[in-house]
Structure 1
Amino acid sequence: MSAFNLLHLVTKSQPVALRACGLPSGSCRDKKDCKVVFSQEELRKRLTPLQYHVTQEKGTESAFEGEYTHHKAQGIYKCVVCGTPLFKSETKFDSNSGWPSFYDVISPNAITFTDDFSYGMHRIETSCSQCGAHLGHIFDDGPRPTGKRYCTNSASLSFKPVDKNNAGEGSGNTHPAQTGKAEL
């Protein structure tokens, strides 16, 4: 499939805000359109080395090793950097890709899409629209109803489980992607 056709399929189903390619993820920290700003020093203190590498340097965790790859609890997956809700557990599916996969986002405004031409191929990078943290990539091989697969690094996510006493609202307990580091 050509790059144009792939981009057309992505933009056809939902609004897309593309950023300039080649900027480090999280680079919106230096732009006026970034809603949440953190210093590199603060992020290095608060995130694990893997979380920092994935979210700030467009890294990728090893396949099948992420905390949320086989996670099945009910709740909300949030950006590990700023806490923005990204995915509901109901949209998570087993793609056998080695990374957590979702077929839809909580809100069309939660994620920003950017052309990614790294490694000699064209993909669409997904980033948190609030802080610019790199999440992963989106592909057109997901299940119905969207046909999308948001292939996401566990290291870019935190999880807020459903509070069974509050009719579907999340509890105050969260679990950072790696132990020993706190999240927002």
Structure 2
Amino acid sequence: MRRPAPDRLGTGIQRRRTAPARTHGRGHRPAPRIRRLPPRQRLPHGRLAEPASLNTLGEALRRHGDISRALDHHRRGLEICQAGRLGLPPDLLALYQAITLRHLGRDYAALDQWHQAETPLRQALALFEESDAPALSGPTQLELGRALRHLDRRDEARTAVRAALHTLTTHHHPRQAEASAQLRTIDNSRH
């Protein structure tokens, strides 16, 4: 008898392979059967489901204009990460905390509350750089530069956006054009 496929995401849900005869119109692949695992068999990384879900929901709410609810979701996610009770490796927990802080900064930016946006963006950037996550630090540098530009701190904004442009270009990130445009905006707004 075949063993069930592993629960790689640690969600507590595991797919079982079925007989090849049951394809359900999907070609040669069998349709998986889902079964719930007992809690003791779940991987510890499944504990990230709550902060990850809160971040995803908060981002969707922000994109749809419900920023106050987005802030609530991101604040709750940050509380969970800061509590550290998830039993996860500290570096993984720090990365999720940084992602949540970045979301909080973006929420405040969406409300044009630039002073409130600066602190979580700086904290997120520090954690991303500590975690050596340039794919995440580059966009955060860009968002910090944008906040600093709105606070009329052009020299700091220029430095942050130049660093973002360098990181984004080095890693072929799709937001490099946005960083170039932001740098032009800062340079064109000189007094």
Q: TM-score by structure 1 length?
A: 0.26
Identify, as 1 or 2, the structure richer in helix.
2
Give the structure, 1 or 2, with the largest relative contact order (CA under 8 Å, sep 6 or more).
1
In proportion to residue count, which structure has more strand?
A: 1
**Could you tell me the TM-score, scaled by structure 2's length?**
0.25
